[in-house]
Homo-oligomer: A and B are copies of this chain.
Amino acid sequence: MILGFLAEGPMHGYELRRRMEQLHGYAHPVSFGTLYPAIARLAAAGFVRQESGPGTASARRITLHLTDAGRAELYERLRTAEGTDITDGQRFMVLLAFLSMLPDKAERDAVLRRRLEFLSQPASFFYEDGHPLKADDISDPYRRGILVSARATSRAERDWLTAMLTAGAKEPS
């Protein structure tokens, strides 16, 4: 997420955190204890350059810039996304937010296809003796609510993914 936002232009850590918070829909903000060490690691790896602004002594302002190596790293991470980056909705949403930066359309489509594949395999949230329970089988109204909401979510995203993959389709699968 840091590499992605910095690819849009230089900014400070604080501004970065505000955007991260917004991208997560204010549901789960990233803490400073996560953000600043993460910036430090990216800087140590040469992906981010830190430039001191005015007021260097007491109240320091540090502007963060993405390096060429950082941009390459961003592309690489978008391209090779797998595991929880695909299966976890929050993580995948972050991927989507910056996916358009990946130049190759075939590679972008491949990412979408991996997500669609995961969403297409039938999965419930409650099981009995190994087989999934349907909404009608569940008496607990709250658990039924989980299933109903999840179904709606999955359907909406699958429809959108399918539309995206068939729209400008050059390679018929």
Contact = CB atoms under 8 A, between A and B. Distances in A.
Copies of this chain held together in the complex: 2
Contacts of A24: 125
A12 to B, nearest CB: 17
A141 B100 contact: yes
A141 B161 CA distance: 11
Given A123-B26, A124-B22, A152-B153, A142 B87 contact: no
B100 A142 contact: yes
* Size band of the interface chain A makes with B: 35 or more
Interface string A64-96: 000000000000000000001001111001001
Contacts of A155: 152
A160 to B, nearest CB: 5
A26 B117 CA distance: 13
Interface in A119-154: 123-127, 140-143, 145-146, 148-150, 152-153
A141 B164 contact: yes
